A and B are shown apart, each in its own frame.
Chain A
Amino acid sequence: QQQVKQSPQSLIVQKGGISIINCAYENTAFDYFPWYQQFPGKGPALLIAIRPDVSEKKEGRFTISFNKSAKQFSLHIMDSQPGDSATYFCAASMNSGGSNYKLTFGKGTLLTVNP
């Protein structure tokens, strides 16, 4: 059972364009939704995150939109740059006791930004 569904699997965008990646979740116990960026040969790096009591969060060129009723959230990358080319993962987190938070990841989106 895949609890976090991510689309598209791959995305090609021209430099300066907007990249949009979508995720949907099933379990309403999730209470924290981060996005991670991973370059080849590197570990996932926390990019931006949102709590379900907020509908939008913006950090620089990166924005998360969150729709609690639809159980969907998305990442928008404005003015996409070739340096943004990477694999992006959405995730959902729930508390598993004490300060432990179990992350469930989507399958990832390979973003390519053409110059």
Chain B
Amino acid sequence: DTAVSQTPKYLVTQMGNDKSIKCEQNLGHDTMYWYKQDSKKFLKIMFSYNNKELIINETVPNRFSPKSPDKAHLNLHINSLELGDSAVYFCASSRVYEQYFGPGTRLTVT
């Protein structure tokens, strides 16, 4: 009965590869987000989707492409991975103000 879940929890890959992270929420929320937490623990929003429509797209390289097949899912696909993409990626969801975060996916690019 996890509210916001992400898979995988850990992802280790080589530079240049393409990878995806999946997110699902069972809270019935309309809005979902992707955040990046860097090595200094700074959290920054990347994208926001509302009812499968992209609303927020921060200054993120276009190698990152979010996809929302339905209201409960928001996946993050990353092309041509670079060393600087190593971070923890969090999915979150909200109905109005309160945002609830998933457990995170630690991506390590070697």
Assess whether A44 is in contact with B97, with CB atoms less than 8 Å apart.
no
Please count how many residues in chain A sit with their CB below 8 Å of the partner chain's CB atoms. 26
Give CA–CA (A42, B103) in the complex, Å. 5
Please count how many residues in chain B sit with their CB below 8 Å of the partner chain's CB atoms. 25
Main SS at interface, chain A: strand
Residue A69 lies at the interface, judged by CB distance under 8 Å to chain B: no
Q: In the assembled complex, how far is the CB of residue B61 from the closest CB belonging to chain A, in whole angstroms?
A: 19
Assess whether A105 is in contact with B43, with CB atoms less than 8 Å apart.
yes
Give CA–CA (A22, B48) in the complex, Å. 28
B97: A residues at CB distance < 8 A: 32, 34, 49, 93, 101
Contact status of A105 and B44, CB under 8 A, knowing A34-B98, A99-B30, A99-B96 = yes
Residue A68 lies at the interface, judged by CB distance under 8 Å to chain B: no
Give CA–CA (A71, B4) in the complex, Å. 32
Question: Residues on A close to B: CB < 8 A?
Answer: 32, 34, 36, 38, 41-46, 49, 87, 89, 93, 96-105, 107-108
